[in-house]
Amino acid sequence: MALIPYLMALVSIATLLLNKARFAIYLLAAQYVFAFLLALPVLQIRSLIARLLGGFLVGVILYSSERRFTEGKSFLQTPSLPRSFWFRFLTALIVFIVAWAFANQTQSFTSSAGKNIFLGSTFIMCLGSLMLGLYQSPMEAAVGMLTLLIGFDLFYGGIEPSLAIVVLMISIQLIISLATSYIMSIRHQAHAQEDGRA
Amino acid sequence: MSAPLVLVVASFATASLAFIFRNQRTVSSLIAASGATFLAGFILFAPLDEAFTLLGFSIRFENSWIVLGRELILGTAIRPMIAFLYLTGLFLLSGSWLAVKNRFFPTIAMLMLITVAGSIMVEPFLFASAFIGLAAVGSVLLLVSQEYPSSVGAVRLMVLYTFAMLSILLGGWMIETGTGIGTSAEGGVSAATVIGFGFAILMAIPPFHIWLTAGVQESNSFIVAFVTVILQAAGFFLLLRFMDAFTWLREDLTFHAGLRIISIATMVLASFWAFSARDLRKVFSYAIVADMGVIVLALSHASPAGARIALALFGARVFGIAILALGLCVVQLHKRDWRGAGRRQPVAALAILVGLLSLAGFPLTAGFPGRWALLSLEFARDAYILISILLAMIISALLVLRWAAILFDPTIAHEQDQESPSQQAYLLIGIGSLVLLGIAPQILVPWVVEVTGGLPHLFPLIP
């Protein structure tokens, strides 16, 4: 169980470094499973199953959108410094170290949430924020936002176990994935029209 | 019967009906506007928690509805806030068929309205940010369409509002558990900072206005106006309720000093940005940001008078933003060149200029009485506040002169009038409303009194 927070961090770093849309969706699905396992000893099983099912739906929506509307199978990228592999590696490493130090030094936050949960949620919230800082395409932004929300939900679920907040969080994640899918479909249609004109 | 349930069911029914008639834009818009009118009437006038007879039936509306363990309450305190949302919806939806080609606008707009209304009704109100986040993400479906496929502003909105939601939930938890509130000075600052970050995003305070400036250039201006007004209203009402609920926040001088500095910077910077902008749509977005700066400045006075002025300014801005947005849409429907546009569409150009003047707080427009009252508060005796307010007003007045010269450029040949009578009628009603509110600002007083009556700690002097 103590390894799961580090696995979550590793998965987030892999999402950043691989820079492939389809892999990012697989890795996001893995984050949902890790979050489920990590919270199993602390949260109610019914709310965890609801979160996992919500995550499954999010993954299906993003995967089907990626299959239908993406041709390059990778996020948009340029060879400039903020998008290069080594830049992303170094920033991910720095963020990982900062998150690790913060999670281990902050004692007051761990009163109602387990230490592992806090560590895991801190890792993926920080790395999700980094993804958002570097995003160039709607899909990339969605993966960053969903990673951030998984981390926050993991942390917040421990301190506010109400069913209403579970439903709201799942709804927000689903709407983010639907909105991303919608944006991708509109962009795809616009590109198709441009190609048709050309 | 539960009143919040009636509100939810009626909103969904209206949205469904608007969806069925989505291919007839006028009908769909009018259905949504009628639904908003009915619901605003219901919110304002329906007797709650007491039985009454209607058409021979005895009816009793409860003011609360429990969903998933949380309560939605349509209390006396929040009824004018929710009514404001639906009345705003009424004004904007009734004009949407003149400017918006997106056939799903009335449907999604109604769903946004009920989601934001939910943010005001939910108890504990700390969960409001989750509803606002939901509404913001949903608004992406309005901002991006086949006509406007670019998505930079929409994605920024989604990202920023996600951050806002998280920071307000986190700040709320810090307050509830006592981690970072007024019991220790250091802790108080940390909770206020986390919450302040969230509210800055909700109210598009720079640098969190970037979704607005991008969105207005790549989406329909009228849709951007709707999304902005509704989301900023949600953020503004939530801030008022935070200030009403937490004494330490209401009385925290550091928090109010921070608000004051941020609001002045917002007002002055946005005015300069507007002046330097070459695109009228960007000017529109900066004018909204500068206006929000003035509202936050009034709120920073940390007094019932300041908060009342903020409310009056907030209520008055809807007409200015709406007719400015519609004017922009009408001009852009025909030609995207601003120069000489006023000679083709004189009423639309006039609406743009009057809307800008109102947002700038020019005399005889809706934005002026609030600013005048603001100048009468004692903190306006501070030179830097007085200079900032006047500077922003002067820059904005010069800006309007410049755009008047561009829009009515006499060197551009006069073309045939391309405004429809309906567009002209709506714009003239809007201009008339702005002037009326400028001459008789007391029209807004009953609404302000109603809102303030529901916030007893923030407005202790109101009977």
Ramachandran region, residue A77 (left: φ > 0; alpha: ψ -120 to 50; beta: rest): beta
The answer to whether residues B342 and B350 touch, using CB atoms and an 8 Å cutoff, is yes
Chain centre to alpha carbon of residue A122: 12
Q: B98-155 pLDDT, tens per residue?
A: 888 888 999 999 999 999 999 999 888 878 888 999 999 999 999 998 888 888 899 9
Q: How many CB atoms within 10 Å of residue B178? A: 12
Give residue B199's identity as a one-letter amino acid code: F
Question: A interface mutation test: which of B116, B131, B139, B140 has the most A CBs within 10 A?
Answer: B140
A145 at interface of B, judged by CB pairs closer than 8 A = yes
Question: A interface mutation test: which of B162, B176, B218 has the most A CBs within 10 A?
Answer: B162
How distant, in Å, are the alpha carbons of B21, B232, B310, B367, B463 from that of B370? 40, 18, 8, 6, 22
The answer to whether residues A147 and A31 touch, using CB atoms and an 8 Å cutoff, is yes
Report ipTM for this prediction. 0.87
SS (H, E, C) A111-168: HCCCHHHHHHHHHHHHHHHHHHHHCCCHHHHHHHHHHHHHHHHHHHHHHCCCHHHHHH
How distant, in Å, are the alpha carbons of A45, B38, B51, B52, B53 from that of B56? 49, 21, 12, 10, 6
How many angstroms separate the most distant Cα atoms in chain B? 69
Q: Give this prediction's pTM.
A: 0.90
Beta carbons of A189 and B134 less than 8 Å apart: no
How far is Cα B221 from Cα B284, in angstroms, rounded to an integer?
9
How far is Cα B32 from Cα B106, in angstroms, rounded to an integer?
6
Beta carbons of A152 and B133 less than 8 Å apart: no
Measured in angstroms, the CA of B382 and the nearest CA of chain A are apart by 39
Nearest to B69 among A148, A162, A169 (CB): A162
Measured in angstroms, the CA of A151 and the nearest CA of chain B are apart by 11
Q: Which range is most confident: A53-62, B50-59, B76-85, B337-346?
A: A53-62
Question: Crossing angle for the helix pair B3-20 and B105-121, nearest 10 degrees?
Answer: 170
Give residue A72's identity as a one-letter amino acid code: G
Q: What are the residue ranges of helices labelled H in B277-366?
A: 280-299, 304-334, 341-344, 346-360
Beta carbons of A148 and B162 less than 8 Å apart: yes
| For residue B225, pLDDT beyond 90 | yes
How far is Cα B246 from Cα A102, in angstroms, rounded to an integer?
29
How distant, in Å, are the alpha carbons of A24, A143, B81, B278 from that of A133? 16, 12, 35, 28
Q: What is the pLDDT of residue B182?
A: 46
How far is Cα B275 from Cα B392, in angstroms, rounded to an integer?
10
| For residue B184, pLDDT beyond 80 | no
| Owner of token pair 């045939």 | B416
Q: What are the residue ranges of helices labelled H in B73-151?
A: 79-99, 105-121, 128-138, 140-143
Q: What is the pLDDT of residue A198?
A: 61
Q: Which residues pair with B65 in a beta bridge?
A: B72
**Host H or E run for residue B60:** strand B57-60
Q: Which residues contact B34 (CB under 8 A, 6 or more apart)?
A: B14
Q: Which residues contact B176 (CB under 8 A, 6 or more apart)?
A: B126
Using CB atoms within 10 Å of the CB of residue B225, give its burial: 0 to 12 exposed, 13 to 18 middle, 19+ buried: buried
Nearest to B126 by CA among B171, B172, B162: B172
How far is Cα B444 from Cα B310, in angstroms, rounded to an integer?
12
| For residue B185, pLDDT beyond 50 | no
Q: What is the pLDDT of residue B456?
A: 78
Q: What is the pLDDT of residue A106?
A: 65
Nearest chain A residue to B174 by CA distance is: A109
Beta carbons of A149 and B162 less than 8 Å apart: yes
Nearest to B169 among A111, A156, A175 (CB): A156
Each of the 198 residues of chain A gets a pLDDT tens digit; together they read 778 888 888 888 888 888 788 889 999 999 999 999 988 888 888 889 999 999 999 999 999 998 888 755 555 555 555 667 777 788 888 888 888 887 777 655 555 457 888 888 888 998 888 888 887 788 889 999 999 999 999 888 888 878 888 888 999 999 999 999 999 999 888 888 877 766
DSSP state of B48: B
Using CB atoms within 10 Å of the CB of residue B453, give its burial: 0 to 12 exposed, 13 to 18 middle, 19+ buried: middle
Average pLDDT rounded to a whole number, residues B433-448: 86
Tokens representing B402 are 């410049």
B10-33 burial code (b ≥16 CB/10 A, e <16): bbeebbebbbebeeebebbbbbbb
SS (H, E, C) A12-70: HHHHHHHCCHHHHHHHHHHHHHHHHHHHCCCCCHHHHHHHHHHHHHHHHHHHHHHHHHC
Average pLDDT rounded to a whole number, residues B79-93: 91
Nearest to B215 by CA among B273, B140, B279: B140
